[in-house]
Structure 1
Amino acid sequence: MTMHETMSAPSVAAATRTARANVPDDAVMLRTAAEMTRDYSTANPAIYWADFLGSAVIGYAGLAGAIVLDSVPLVIACGLVAMLALYRASSFIHELTHIRKGALPGFRLGWNLIVGAPLMIPSFMYEGVHTQHHARTRYGTANDPEYLPLALMKPWSLPLFVVVAALAPVGLILRFGLLTPLSVIFPPLRTIVRERFSALSINPAYTRRAPEGEFRRQWLWQEAGACLVALALVGSVFAFGWRPLLTYMAIHSAMTVVNQLRTLVAHLWENEGEAMTVTAQYLDSVNVPPPGWWAEVWAPVGLRYHALHHLLPSVPYHALPKAHRRMVDALGPQSTYDRGNYRGMMPLLGKIARSTMGARQRYSSVRKRTVSPTSRNRKKGAQAARKGG
């Protein structure tokens, strides 16, 4: 093997990543998407409120049944219903980050009172964070709070990614029930809590800026509400025993795991820090459109159209199915748009798992090829010396 061949392997990988990030923009697809924005940008309050409130009522009814019923099959059934319904209700936090001011009066307040505070996921944890993920120059870079090159990481990173989500209820109780009151008493701790523990993000390097103006006031009352809930949950053990708290935590944990699995297949996670074109960002994202219905369960409130959402971030969730059909009709089955459509969760999980295994094999192969002849000779010499001794 020549010196050129030895040194070129990492550079070829880097060139591949750069080429993937710099996919030329598809002007026809972007122009068609712009037309969808003009046609479908109005949110329907009746749909939002009915969907959200219905999901919340069903979810809390299921939670109550799981707590008070004695039949194990009924408890499991109620728990499953509660998990799926509360998962759908909580997913409206994504819509809150994109709703134009004044489009849905009272919805942010209602969502936080009914779901955000009770589940300890107030909207300030996502608002101001998720929009950075959509910023043209941030997506997929080190400055993106919602991106990691998961497909290029070690295989054990995927199960760890899910296991961490299962511990979310414990982390949230500690965040709001312990760190919030302590940070009020000790101001230096407040900075740490704000920077490191105040965002629903997956990038461990992300730090949160201090809120300002009206958003700061929203942050404070939302955090106070979540703090009261966390303290009440801990206190409930003394009043009602362990069952209500453990049931709540089990349902919350299952809900968060499903969302983490959805997150795992929301993108291909193949970018490693390069700034990407809009088309490259689309192709790194995922749609799971009909005819299958199961995606509406694990990716509710428009999240099954995640790639389309990256083209149309201001279009409300209830309009995305119509926009998708028009995009398909306008662009055809062999278009760039069609390349962002996938069949379901399991094929996507398999794809990212294979990618991590391939990344490990490529890394091992590159390491073997980049070991210099001198290093190999030294190793052989040391082995021979040991044998001779």
Structure 2
Amino acid sequence: TDMLRNAAGIISPAEKTFIPEQEQPKAIRVARIWLAIYIATIALALYLHSWLPLMLVGLPRLYGAWHHVMTGLLQHGGLAENVIDHRLNSRTVLMNPISRFIYWNMNYHVEHHMFPMVPYHALPKLHEMIKHDLPPPTPSILAGYREMIPAFLRQLRNEDYFLKRVLPPTAKPYREELHNDSPVAAAAE
């Protein structure tokens, strides 16, 4: 419905709070382009008497969105916010090969945040190279939700609560100058 409203040239009051005024015409133009793509896809499917165009454009958002939400929540859910060290606010989750493929290895999320220029296909190898500096990975999607859901419920009562990630004794500081026991941090106090 947001796309249809935007395609009609209407930006909602809520959208106006985060879409700068100079970008609003672009949002309308993009909505109109997507609407044209969807209409053309539906027309092609009707013309061909085939579901195939819809299976390629449009329907993937419907039948794949659950997986995106399921894996996306695991990235940071229940963890610390406003911390500089990504090992403390991101989670690496070991997943099945199909989910890893669909998710482009973003289950190696700590690694992705620490080294964002590493391509997705190299994240498993990067994980093996630096795992001695990382919290232990969450062993499965289910284990991630078992850890995360109680944290979410507790955060409803106490918004300052978060799951504390424990770094192994072999872990080196992410950036020495940002840690309290460094000379730079002590001089800043």
TM-score, normalising length: structure 2: 0.60
Between structure 1 and structure 2, the one with the greater Rg is 1
Return the match for 1:275 from 82, 92, 106.
82
CA distance in 2, matches of 1:232, 1:284: 43
Map 1:1-389 onto structure 2 (within 5 A).
Answer: 171=1, 175=3, 178-183=4-9, 189-190=10-11, 192=12, 196=15, 207-209=18-20, 223-233=31-41, 235=43, 239=47, 250-271=59-80, 275-276=82-83, 278-279=84-85, 281-289=86-94, 293-299=97-103, 301-328=104-131, 332=132, 335=133, 337-339=134-136, 341-359=137-155
Query: Secondary structure, in 3 states, of the residue corresponding to 2:87?
Result: helix
The alpha-carbon deviation at position 345 of structure 1 amounts to 0.9
1:302 shift after superposition = 3.1
Do 2:41 and 2:53's aligned partners in 1 also have CA atoms closer than 8 Å?
Answer: yes
Q: Offset at 1:285?
A: 0.9
- Superposition deviation, residue 231 in structure 1: 2.5
Report the Cα offset of residue 221 of structure 1: 7.1
- Could you say which structure has the higher helix fraction? 1
How many residues align structurally?
156
How big is the shift at 1:309? 1.2
**For each residue in 1:17-46, what CA deviation from the matched residue of structure 2 results, as whole angstroms up to 9, or x when unmatched?**
xxxxxxxxxxxxxxxxxxxxxxxxxxxxxx
SS at match of 2:76: coil
Distance in 2 (alpha carbons) for counterparts of 1:210 and 1:317:
35
Q: Is the 8 A contact 1:286 1:305 kept in 2?
A: yes
Unaligned runs of 5+ in 1: 1-170, 184-188, 198-205, 364-389
8 Å contact from structure 1 (residues 196, 208) kept in 2: yes
- Report the Cα offset of residue 256 of structure 1: 1.1
Mark the CA change 1:283 to 1:295 in structure 2 (over 3 Å): closer, same or farther: farther
| Contact kept? 1:282, 1:307, Cα under 8 Å | yes
Cα 1:241–1:211 shift into 2, 3 Å: farther
Q: Check conservation: 1:289, 1:343, Cα contact below 8 A.
A: yes
Mapped partners of 1:267, 1:289: distance in 2: 15
CA distance in 2 between partners of 1:179 and 1:240 (Å): 29
Percent identical among aligned pairs is: 16
Contact 1:180–1:227 (Cα < 8 Å) also in 2: no
Change in Cα spacing, 1:283 to 1:266, as seen in structure 2 (3 Å) is same
Normalising by structure 1, we get a TM-score of 0.33
1:262–1:298 Cα contact (<8 Å) kept: no
Q: Which has the higher contact order (CA 8 A, sep 6+)?
A: 1
**Cα distance in 2, alignment partners of residues 293 and 179 from structure 1:** 39
Partner SS, residue 122 of structure 2:
helix
Residues 259-293 of structure 1: per-residue CA shift (max 9 Å, x gap) = 1111111113344xx632x22x4322111258x53
Give the distance between the partners of 1:297 and 1:243, measured in 2 at CA: 24
Give the whole-Å Cα distance in 1 for the aligned partners of 2:88 and 2:7.
44
